[in-house]
Structures are given as C-alpha cells and as structure tokens.
Structure 1
C-alpha cells in the first residue's frame, strides 16, 4: 500500500514550519556541543554523557566502515609497486653505485681517525714532546729498511729522535732536512738499540739484520731471557727514554734470541716523533734543589729590644776581638830585652863532658856473662 493511500494521505506539512523546526533543533544541538566541549581546569576535555555515549556507539561502527577503505588503499599500493618494481630497482641500483665510493671513504676515514686517536692518547712518563708525522716513501731491500716522513728540522726534528707508532718503537731519525726526515727502522742492519728484559731487568743489544725479527745480542746473565718476555728500551746511553715497548722475545731457528716487534702489528704509515735529546730535558733544574724539611719550624723574627741587645753583644765581641788583635800585634813588634851576664848560663867546655858509660849487662842464669 502506497503512502498516499494511507491515513496520512491528506496530511500536508508546511515548509516554513519544517525549516524552522530543523533550525531550532540544529541550534540546540550546537549549543549542547559547545557547552559539552568546554575545557576542564586540569586541561582535559570534559565531555557530556550524551556525547560520550554517541562516540561509544559510533566508534566501532566507524572502524568497521573504514576497514574496506584501508584494504582498498593497501591493494592499490601493492599493485602500483608491482607495476613500478622495475623502475624502482633501477633507481635503487643507481643510488647504491653513487653511495659506494662514499662508503669506502667513510671506512678509510674511520680507520685513520681511530689510529690518530690512539696515537694522540700515547703518553710517556716523564712527558716528552711529540710530533705526528706520515710516512711518504719507503725503501726496502735485503739490508736496508728506512722510511721518509713528512716532518723535518723546521718543526724541531733532529737526528737521533726516536719514532714510535701506536704499538711501540719503530726506529730512529738518521737524517733531517727542512721538511722531510729519514727514519731507519729497527730491522735495518745499521740499527743498534740498547734494550732490557722487562721480567729480569737484564740488559741487551737489539741488532737489526734485515729480517723482520732483529736479534737480541750481548744478553747479560745466564737464563735472563725466556720466550714471551717483553723487551723494552733501556735508556742506556741517553739516546732513548726508558720503557718504550719494543716486542716479545722468541727463539729463532738458528738458536739465537730474536724479538717479534710490536710495530709490525699494523702498517707503519702514521707515526709520532719523540723530540727527545737527552735526560737533562726531563729534569727541572729547580726541582733538584732540596726543599726545607717540613718538620723543622722557622724561628720567629726577634723583637726590636732583642735585636738591639743582639747588636750590642755583637759590637762588644767585635771590640774585644779588635783589642786582642792589637795586643798580639804590639807583642810581636816589641824588642826583646838583653839578658845580664849573671843570668847567662856558663858555657860548657868539651873537656867537662864525660863520656857516657854503657850500662852493665844483666846477669844471666847459671852465672854466665
């Protein structure tokens, strides 16, 4: 049955009244929303019970209605990515090829910075001025092992300065120009380094022979070296500071003691030059002067009266000493008085001197003289 065939067939609603009712209902709803959306004193939104109930009902319904929309969006992205996968792959390959050199440079810089930080953290006791350098050339042969480093006399480098890296002693400077220095390594045949065994404090001489492991010669003391002993610089002769790590003792194939160098653990390209001349630069001359003992107390300064009394006593002592010296001088310069004849002793004649008779011998037992 159609609506016009029912009981409300002749019902006619005025349009003006309908619009007025809708407007009034809308204003009432807007007012309720404004009132219910006020802010609480603690900053949280205070919702009315009606609005809360409405959101409680419409929340799950909105989630169910929005699910198909999300599914459609995901399917669209998947299909679009599938059709554009080839172009995306080409773009990513181009970016990877562009970033590969930057990655290699970053790794190299990280290694260099790590070595710089390690070398900057090196400290000697007592402190010795250091200078960072880089190896710019290398000469290797069956007998010669040397490097050129990019610092010279313009920065204070001199012949004989020790050269170290982050692991230990590398060699010594044997030639210097304004901006370049020549460093002879411990493995060179011209290298001679006084060393000591850390465990026994035995002295020895580290001699290079062109191989990777220099020989340990002239070891003092029988059994003073064992495999695995740490070898340090001894400082004998004043050419090197004492205690710089050099290597570990090991028995060679020929039966001689050799040293596995700490400096061979990495490339010898960044080094530090010790601006070391002799032990006098490590000692403060003023520090050699003995300070007063802490247990002794200094006497307080005398008062004015005591100072006056001390001055008078000193003056009297000076006057007495002067008078005594005057009397001694006068006695020395006075003439000696002549003696009268009666006081002179009679001369002794030679005839009156009687010869000295020898003493009689003592009787011996038995009556034998």
Structure 2
C-alpha cells in the first residue's frame, strides 16, 4: 500500500490547536523557570510546593534536551582522539621513558636507605663505640685484598680496629692516617682471624688465601664442623670482640672447610669501624670501683699462723756466724739444776 492509500494520510491537525498547545507548554515552562529563579520568600510553604512541582516537571525535559549535546560531545572527542592518536602515542612514549629513569633512581635510593638503616642499626653486646665510613678505593690483586675508608686518625681509628658492614665482618684496620685508613680484608693472604663454630663452640683460625672463601684451619675435636654452620669471632687473643658474624661453613672444591663470608651478600660500600682496643674497655670501671669487698663471715674457720722452728733458726744462725776456736774451760762439780729452770740454748753457743 502506497502512502497515498494510507488512511491516516488525510488526517490534518488544525494549525490553531497546534499553536495553542505550543504556547501553553512554553508558558508553563516559563512560569516554572521564573518561580525557580526567585530569591525571596524561600521559607514560605506556597513557594516550596511550587518549586517542587516545577523541578519535577523540568527534570525529564532537561535530561532529554541535554542528551543530544552529550552525544555530540562524545562523538567529537572520539573523532579527535582518532585523528590525534599518533601524537598522543608519541607523547606517552616520551613520558614513559622519563618515568622509567625516575623509577631506577627511586629503586637505587630505596636500596641505599635500607642499607643505611641496617648499618645504623648495627649493635654489639656490650656496646662498642663505632665510626661510620665509606669505601673510596678498592685495591685487589692475586694475593692482596685491601680497601681504603674515608675515616682516619681524627675520628679515633687505630690499627687493629675491626671493620663491619651491615651484613658481617669485613676485616681489620692495618694503617691509619689523617682522613684515611687501610682495611685488610678477611680474604687477604696475610689475614688470620680467630673464630668459633656456633653449633659446637669449636675453635679455628680463618686464613685468607686470596680467594673469595677463606679456609678454616687448626680445627680440633670430633666432628667439629658441618656444612652450613654459623661462624663467629671467638675473641681469642683480644684482636676482635667475641660474637661478630663472619659467615657460614661450606665445603670447598679442594675438600677443605671454607667460609662463605656474610659481608659478600652486598657490595661493601659503607662500613662501620669498631673502636675496639682490648677487653678492658668493655668493663665498667666506675661500677667496679664502687664495689667493696664484703667482710669475712663470723664463725668462719681460719688457719692458725705457722709456728717458728727454733732448731732451724739456730742452725741458720750457726752457719751465718764465723767459725771460732773453742776457748778452754774449767770443769767444776756442781749440783744438777732442775729441767724447768734450764735456759734454752742461744745462737752461737754449744752445749
């Protein structure tokens, strides 16, 4: 059926009714807008009801009228994004490259902060004064392993002071000058460190041979060490304080017991030098001076003093006196004297 044969095609809306309806709708909308825009008498009930009704009537109309605008804006943004995708991609790539550089910087700073915290949290029992330093030069060779730290005589560093990183013992100071100290590592061929096995308390000497894992020598006892045992400083000889972490025991390719150093877990860039000289500085001298010796307990048995031996003294005195010829004596008979009245023999007289 064509449009001409449509029964509704002859239906015509009177122009007067159409204009009246449009005028009425516009009049109602205008009145609602005017009422909603008033600023006086906000508190009256009549205005409150009128504004409520106008808001309900305008909400769907405003939503319908704003929908084409929203669709148009979204379409424009889509077309703009499509045509400008290449330039946006280049901008994002440049920004990503810059952010990757900042990411690397942030990771490095985070690692340094963690190492600083671990190094500053290093404590010994009993407490030992420490000095923080940074490794400035690495001297390596087939047999020599030593490093320079930027802390010297002005900070109280002396030869023999132990050097530790945040993970464990590094070595000891062998030379000091103003602003610089030389650290002999545990792997140097001249390094000898008294250590003990934490599990068995067995003593040994950690000997460097130029390699990454020094040897354990002079072990004593039945089965003194096993693979994985912790190694600590023993404090023998007073060179190092007791209990500093050194590493763990491993079996070398040559069949000898060696130590994987704990300081090798991270690069040795920052160290702390222990101002340790001997065990006397670990004692609290003020507290020891305040202590008093308790008096002896009443009724306790005491040993009597030894009595002098007269014959021995006489013999000694007789030997010390010079020998003289006996003088002639005249023997006369006399009454015998009682034994109680007899005088004891004196030195230098003969019976």
* TM-score of the two chains, using structure 1 as the length reference: 0.66
Q: Which residue does the alignment assign to 1:173?
A: 173
The one-character-per-residue Cα deviations of 1:64-94 (angstroms, maximum 9, x if unpaired) are 3322211211111121122222222333333
Q: CA separation in 1, counterparts of 2:70 and 2:189?
A: 80
Q: Alpha-carbon deviation of 1:101? A: 3.7
Q: Which residue does the alignment assign to 2:24?
A: none
Q: CA RMSD in A?
A: 3.1
Q: Does 1:132 align with 2:138?
A: no
Q: Secondary structure at the match of 2:190?
A: coil
The one-character-per-residue Cα deviations of 1:226-253 (angstroms, maximum 9, x if unpaired) are 2211100111111111111101112223
Q: Which residue does the alignment assign to 2:120?
A: 120
Q: Which residue does the alignment assign to 1:231?
A: 231
Q: Secondary structure at the match of 2:109?
A: helix
Q: Which residue does the alignment assign to 2:244?
A: 244
Q: Does 1:111 align with 2:117?
A: no
| 2:40 aligned to which of 34, 40, 58 | 34
Distance 1:32 1:154, change over 3 A: closer
Q: Which residue does the alignment assign to 2:218?
A: 218
Q: CA separation in 2, counterparts of 1:97 and 1:48?
A: 59
Q: Alpha-carbon deviation of 1:277? A: 1.3
Q: Alpha-carbon deviation of 1:158? A: 1.2
Q: CA separation in 2, counterparts of 1:258 and 1:31?
A: 91
Q: Which residue does the alignment assign to 2:182?
A: 182
Q: Which moved more, 1:145-154 or 1:206-215?
A: 145-154
Q: Which residue does the alignment assign to 1:327?
A: none
The one-character-per-residue Cα deviations of 1:132-172 (angstroms, maximum 9, x if unpaired) are 22211112222111111122112221111111111100111
Q: Alpha-carbon deviation of 1:98? A: 4.2
When the two structures are aligned, how many residues end up with a matched partner? 272
Q: Which residue does the alignment assign to 2:25?
A: none
Q: CA separation in 2, counterparts of 1:47 and 1:278?
A: 95
Q: Which moved more, 1:227-236 or 1:280-289?
A: 280-289
Residue correspondence of structure 1 range 30-109 to structure 2 within 5 A: 34-35=40-41, 37-38=42-43, 48-109=48-109
Q: CA separation in 1, counterparts of 2:131 and 2:220?
A: 34
Q: Which moved more, 1:129-138 or 1:158-167?
A: 129-138
Distance 1:126 1:60, change over 3 A: farther
Q: Alpha-carbon deviation of 1:102? A: 3.4
Q: Is the 8 A contact 2:194 2:236 kept in 1?
A: yes
Q: CA separation in 2, counterparts of 1:30 and 1:215?
A: 93
Q: Is the 8 A contact 2:35 2:50 kept in 1?
A: no
Distance 1:58 1:220, change over 3 A: same
Q: Alpha-carbon deviation of 1:349? A: 4.7
Distance 1:231 1:29, change over 3 A: closer
Q: Does 1:267 align with 2:286?
A: no
Distance 1:221 1:2, change over 3 A: closer
5+ long unaligned stretches in structure 1: 4-24, 40-45, 294-347, 354-369
Q: Secondary structure at the match of 1:232?
A: strand
Q: Secondary structure at the match of 2:40?
A: helix
Q: CA separation in 2, counterparts of 1:30 and 1:95?
A: 49
Q: Is the 8 A contact 2:208 2:215 kept in 1?
A: yes
Q: Which residue does the alignment assign to 1:341?
A: none
Q: Secondary structure at the match of 1:34?
A: coil
Q: Which residue does the alignment assign to 1:253?
A: 253
Structure of higher CA gyration radius:
1
Q: Is the 8 A contact 2:35 2:51 kept in 1?
A: no
Q: CA separation in 2, counterparts of 1:204 and 1:217?
A: 6
* TM-score of the two chains, using structure 2 as the length reference: 0.69
Distance 1:172 1:94, change over 3 A: same
Q: CA separation in 1, counterparts of 2:285 and 2:131?
A: 25
Q: CA separation in 2, counterparts of 1:277 and 1:74?
A: 78
